[in-house]
């Protein structure tokens, strides 16, 4: 039976590309924060390989120039929107609370 996921159509090629991206990049291309590569799959901060031009929009899941490191949550929030369409704030730390001495 044929695979319905184009990323798995050539598992060896995708696994090799994934290893290369994990080796070459350290920060999420969407939010700019460090990606903890030791986290197991499935957690919000887990490392994922995201396609700049989504596969559903004709992007290649096998070209290095189209693949970047992302947090799982950032990747999920972006979905298949084009780059820069929506600012991803998934794992950014909260802004400091501004306080006033006025009572």
Domain boundaries, the chain: 6-78
pLDDT higher than threshold 60 for residue 57: yes
- What is the per-residue pLDDT for 10? 74
pLDDT higher than threshold 50 for residue 31: yes
Helical H segments across 25-103, by residue range: 72-78
pLDDT higher than threshold 60 for residue 34: yes
pLDDT higher than threshold 60 for residue 88: no
Q: Output 9 or 76, whichever has higher pLDDT.
A: 76
CA distance 61 to 67: 7
92 closest CA partner among 51, 23, 59, 44: 44
CA distance 8 to 68: 17
Long-range contacts from 35-42, C-beta under 8 angstroms, 24+ separation:
35/69, 35/70, 35/71, 41/72, 42/72
């Amino acid at each position: 039976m044929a695979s319905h996921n184009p990323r798995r159509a050539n598992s060896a090629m995708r696994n090799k590309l994934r290893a290369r991206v994990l080796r070459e990049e350290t920060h999420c291309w969407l939010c700019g924060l460090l990606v903890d590569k030791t986290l197991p799959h499935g957690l919000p901060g887990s490392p994922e390989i995201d396609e700049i031009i989504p596969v559903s929009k004709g992007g290649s899941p096998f070209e290095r120039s189209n693949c970047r490191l992302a947090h799982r949550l950032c990747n999920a929030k972006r979905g298949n929107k084009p780059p820069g369409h929506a600012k991803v704030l998934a794992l950014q730390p909260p802004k400091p609370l501004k306080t006033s001495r006025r009572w």
